[in-house]
Amino acid sequence: MFPDPPTMIVPLRTDEHGAIRVSGTRVTLDVVIARYHQGYSPEAIHKAFSTVSVNDIYAVISYYLAHRDELDAYLKRRDEEAERIRQEIEANYTPEQKARHERLRRLVEEKRRQQNS
């Protein structure tokens, strides 16, 4: 038994734009949790984002699980804001950009269908 259990510091900080990042890195909470939801292990997340230590990834996931409701609300707001910005940018596409975007969308969809076959 610990006489005084150690305090664990969660390695997260909010940047000047309101994004939550893993302290000392440019990696966002969004990315770590998205990979976690996709089934990546903390070690696999570390392999993809080597600037974040495995210990920090475990701490971030643990914090997420302990504060799931508020962090899911934060992640939902971030997704909504990203969608709003995407729509705003696409609304200003030139006809050439729209055509290129549509070609890329079709290629991605075709590749997805091939992978699922």
Sorted by where each starts, the structural domains of the chain and their CATH numbers stand as: 1-66 (1.10.10)
Q: Is the pLDDT of residue 2 over 80?
A: no
Take residue 81 and report the two structure tokens written for it: 């804001």
Average pLDDT for the chain: 94
Res. 7 pLDDT band, cuts 50 70 90: confident
Res. 8 pLDDT band, cuts 50 70 90: confident
Direct distance between the N- and C-terminal alpha carbons of the chain, in angstroms, rounded to an integer: 55
**Torsion-angle region of 80 (φ positive above 0: left; ψ -120 to 50: alpha; else: beta):** alpha
Helix orientation angle between 68-91 and 54-66, rounded to the nearest 10 degrees: 100
The predicted model gives 26-34 an average pLDDT of 97
pTM of the model: 0.80
**The pLDDT of residue 1:** 62
Q: Tell me: the pLDDT tens digits for 68-102?
A: 999 999 999 999 999 999 999 999 999 999 999 99
